[in-house]
Chain A
Amino acid sequence: MKKHRVIFQPSGRRGEVADGTDLLDAARNLGVDIESICGGKGTCGKCKVRVEEGFFEKDSMDSRMEHLSQLTEVERKFLKPSDGPGMRLACAARALGDVKIFVPEKSRAGKQIVRKAAKELNIRVEPAVKKYFVELEKPSLHEVIKGDLEKLLAALEKNYGLSGLSMDFPVLKDLQDTIRKGNWGVTVSVWKGREIIKVEPGFIEASYGLAVDVGTTTVVGYLTDLATGKVMATESMMNPQVPYGEDVMSRITYAMTNPDGVGRMQKAIIDGLNEIISNITKALSAEAPGGGEAIVDMTIVFNTAMHHILLGFNPEHIGRSPFIPAIQHGLDIKARDLGIRINPGSYIYVLPIEAGFVGADNVGVLIAMEPYNMEEKVLIIDIGTNGELLLGNKDRVCSTSCATGPAFEGAQIKMGMRAAPGAIEKVKIDPATKEPLYKVIGKEEWHINLEKIDAKGICGSGIIDAIAWMYRAGIIDKSGRFDMNVESPRVRKDHEGKPEYVLAWARETSIGGDITITQGDVRALQLAKGALYAGAKLMMRRMGLEKLDKVMLAGAFGSFIDKESAMTLGMFPDCDIDNVYAVGNAAGDGARMALVSLTKRGEAEEKARWVEFVEIAVEPAFEKEFMQAMHLPHMKDSFPNLKKLIEKESPHVVIKG
């Protein structure tokens, strides 16, 4: 088969690809991250790349546009003259000869800011893995009936009351050497009082565990001291599966349409986890030799699709109604079976799944927030790439999943981007002048007018703020429609005649153009927030609730959005703003709790089965609720708390009280 050489700039990655390979696939194969929200379906237009034409001596390469397949209709749709010459969509252009490709900054899947820091947990530490030091008597010829293992087991029973222990077979193979290396003193790691998973020579006090949150976009590991429950180090990375598709559905489709697609994505995430493990244990090497092997216990939370792919299950059936997972219960899997390089005999505890799209990550939220111990009726919104809702109190808790789409993460938004340096993350608009103030990630201060601040785009929290304030300033009405009678140079029509609001003028940005919020962006947000609100409302109705006592916003994004803006848009039903809390990465907190507490693991298994899952998309009332919830903040519902909060400062807005 014919092969062609492809070089990607600025990374300089290069290699050979088969004739007819599209550039997105070539990039994936060569480890170049290109934005592809739709997973190469030609529907998002984010994977714009430029062909560098000419003969490049250094590479002895003749790179030409003709070395790529013909421009497709999809490309014609997405490529604008303002993109400059030589642009193609990586997913559509296929290599028919040697090419050199430049990936513009906008199209690079850049390193994002990880907003999943660990907080103090208040929990009794009772880990699954405990360490025991035993000193054995040296054997003599008078005692020939006892093997090393029997002697170890007898000592563990005598000193610690541990009986009936089994032993990981590979550990047993090394047992004799280990005991002698420790000069008859060894530290034994026992899992759940049942199985010996590690024997180390000498006295090793330190005992480490790793709690992992595998998000669709971000993966975070929390290295934890199992004796105290304290987080020693946090390490994160973008999910290495991102090049296979930015959202869950794209990745499931990739698995369905590519032979060994699951295997490739599984390898990507396992390699990623091993990288986290290797980095996070570097600092430990002095006190705990053995790198990743110093970690003796591990827990993972993730959504159902990430769960299936990491475990190597075919995710096809969770990608379609009725969304049936392979397994609902939690799992204990030997690290060596997954190729995860912690102590090979250790078990990795995978939290249970509630139902279909409400995965182990939501169980993490559940055990971290404990709505089942509350008197007040609380709505917990976990906003990631999907929106998961929990509603209830000690008597009853319901859960559901809302297809919010990736709008909250900056995708499907014209100038949207992830939370990375250069992203506008906070916005305010003066209702009188319609002039904005904004803050960019990576800069301490709010932006003061006319100063170049190198803004590149807007991330999720910025979009929420911007649209909430556009509404408060009368730039858009309740139905989301632009009011073109507003007198401001910032409210204008784009080249297709569609309305938009200029948030940052070209001179303030680093992308050579204005940063705008378009009518289409407002519509994408309305769809996303309408789905959340309708989900909450239908669950409230099912439970006979008229109002909410408390709202908790969880997830990386939930912790950074302005709660007043979220309420202004009607992302959730009315609630006293003092009872709306950002609770951080609750799913990760749940993974950490499960890591250090067997009681919490028991709770996870029990409560995951106790929570009532509600499939709202098929409720007959859904269409109507969804439709009404698309208005700002809602077509019909009243918001007495919001009215008190914003009406005075927002002369253009009338909220139903």
Chain B
Amino acid sequence: MVTAEKRQELLDRLKNAVIQYDEDGAKEASNEALDIGMDANDAIFNGLVSGMEEVGRLFEAQEYFVPELLMSADALYAGLDILKPHVKQLDLGVKGSVVIGTVEGDVHDIGKNIVKMMFDVAGFTVYDLGRDVPLDKFVEEQLRTDSDLVCLSAMMTTTMMGMKKVIDDLRTKNPNVKIMIGGAPVSSDIADKWGADGYAKDANNALKDAINMVSSLKKLKEEAEAKKKG
């Protein structure tokens, strides 16, 4: 029996486990939530994800850094692994699919993995191409999966240059696809200049950017749907 009180207690525990990067705590609370018959969707969205949002805030305030962020992500995944199989239909407000990867010549993928995690959490279907991805592969994968969004990451100035080609090719093949770029050397001016739709500020802000990306994507979706209706 799930009382309002018990529900709140578990949500708090899930949330705090993520904030305090407590993997065991996240597992325990997730199992308990299932045992008492709590809605898995509720536990994920109002517990784990809400904890991750707080982590994002702490990160933006520079109180948390990459290690804390990654450890929080581990706790989040530990809970997700238990809860996800019990979700009948995961609907967190956004439906969509995204192709993501670090561009050719670049093997740095910590930032990209954080962004990917946020898409996972938000209920996206994520096609992760990994790192050092040949430039053509992004276009192929987008066409194959008909994804709404392509996210390109680069940590080096030298490899960032490859993004322009991917953006051009994507635009030629599929003018409707949304493109977001990010990574240490990227700036919003570069995103504008090369015709990307969005820009993630830098690797340090990856989480915040991911949240921004998700919410801006939500907006895009809403606009598209409004257009359809209108």
Chain A residues in the interface with B (C-beta under 8 A): 38-39, 41-43, 72-74, 92, 249-250, 252-253, 256-257, 316, 319-321, 403, 479-481, 497-499, 519-520, 523, 526-527, 617-618, 623, 626-628, 630-631, 635
Q: Which of B62-80 contact A (CB under 8 A)?
A: 62-68, 70-71
Most-contacted residue by chain B among A480, A499, A527 (CB, 10 A): A480
Report if B105 contacts A (CB, 8 A). Answer: yes
The answer to whether B62 and A320 have CB atoms under 8 Å apart is no
The CA-CA distance from A41 to B62 in the complex, in Å, is 24
Q: Is the CB of B187 within 8 A of A74?
A: yes
Is there contact, CB below 8 Å, between B159 and A519? no
**One of A39, A41, A256, A630 near B67 (C-beta < 8 A):** A630
Whose C-beta in chain A lies nearest to the C-beta of B187?
A: A42
Q: Is there an interface contact between B156 and A249, defined as CB atoms closer than 8 Å?
A: yes
> Residues of B contacting A316 with CB < 8 Å?
158
Q: B66 to A630, Cβ gap below 8 A?
A: yes
Q: Which residue of A lies closest to B155 (CB)?
A: A403
CA distance A467 to B63 in the complex (A): 16
> Roughly how many angstroms separate A523 CA and B204 CA in the complex, as a whole number?
9
Contact at B65–A256, with CB atoms within 8 Å?
no
Docked pose: A520 CA to B63 CA in angstroms: 10
How many pairs of residues, A versus B, come closer than 8 Å at their CB atoms?
A: 85
CB-CB under 8 A for A520 and B158, given A38-B185, A623-B110, A631-B67: no
Let me know if A498 and B158 touch, CB within 8 A: no
Give the residues from 173 to 192 in chain B that come closer than 8 angstroms, CB to CB, to chain A: 184-185, 187-190
Report the interface size class on chain B: 20 to 34
Q: List B contacts of A627 (CB < 8 A).
A: 66-67, 70-71
B67:A72 contact, CB within 8 angstroms: no
B131-170 near A? 1/0 per residue, CB < 8 Å: 0100000000000000000000000111101000000000
Interface residue? B84 (CB, 8 A): no
Asked whether any CB of chain A lies closer than 8 Å to the CB of B171, the reply is no
Decide: A520 near B104, CB < 8 A? Known: A42-B187, A256-B158, A321-B132.
Answer: no
| B156–A479 CB distance below 8 A | no
Q: Which residue of B lies closest to A316 (CB)?
A: B158
Q: Tell me the smallest distance from the CB of A385 to a CB of chain B, in Å.
A: 14
Task: Give the contacting residue for B189; candidates A74, A253, A630; CB below 8 A.
Answer: A74
- Decide yes or no whether B4 CB sits under 8 A from chain A: no
Of all A-B residue pairs in the complex, the 6 with the closest CB atoms, nearest first, are: A320-B105, A319-B158, A253-B157, A519-B62, A627-B67, A249-B157
Complex contacts, A250 vs chain B, CB 8 Å: 157
What is the chain B residue whose CB lies nearest that of A518? B62
Q: Is B214 on the interface with A (CB-CB < 8 A)?
A: no
Q: Cβ of A628 and Cβ of B156 under 8 Å apart? A: no
A614 to B169, CA, bound (A): 35
Q: In the complex the two chains form, what is the Cα distance from A253 to B70 in whole Å?
A: 31
Which one, A92, A249, A256, A481, contacts B63 given CB within 8 A? A481
Instruction: Check B189–A623 contact: CB distance below 8 A.
Output: no
Q: Residue on B with the closest CB to A481? A: B63
Given known A321-B105, A497-B61, contact A43–B67 (CB-CB < 8 A)? no
CA distance A257 to B185 in the complex (A): 15
Among residues of A, the one whose C-beta sits closest to the C-beta of B192 is A73
Inter-subunit contact A480/B65 (CB<8 Å): yes
Cβ B161 vs Cβ A635 within 8 A: no
- Find chain A residues with CB under 8 A from B67 CB: 479, 627-628, 630-631, 635
Cβ contacts A to B, 24 pairs, < 8 Å: A38-B157, A41-B157, A41-B190, A42-B187, A43-B187, A73-B189, A74-B188, A249-B156, A252-B157, A252-B158, A256-B161, A320-B104, A320-B159, A481-B63, A481-B64, A499-B62, A519-B62, A520-B62, A523-B204, A526-B65, A617-B107, A627-B67, A630-B65, A631-B67
State the CA gap A282–B97 with chains docked (Å).
Answer: 69
Q: Which residue of B lies closest to A484 (CB)?
A: B63
Additional pairs, 7, CB under 8 Å, beyond known A321-B132, A499-B62, A623-B70: A39-B157, A250-B157, A320-B159, A519-B62, A526-B65, A623-B113, A627-B71
CA–CA, A403 to B157, complex, Å?
Answer: 13
Give the shortest distance, in Å, between A37 (CB) and chain B (any CB).
11
Please give the distance in Å from B201's CB to the nearest CB on chain A: 10
Task: Select one of B64, B161, B189, B204 contacting A257, CB under 8 A.
Answer: B161
Please give the distance in Å from A465's CB to the nearest CB on chain B.
Answer: 21
Chain A: minimal CB distance from B66 (Å): 6
- Among B65, B108, B158, B159, the residue within 8 A (CB) of A479 is B65
**Complex CA–CA separation, A257 to B66 (angstroms):** 32
A321-B66 CB under 8 A given contacts A249-B158, A256-B161: no
Contact B65 A319 (CB under 8 A): no
B137, chain A: closest CB distance, angstroms: 15
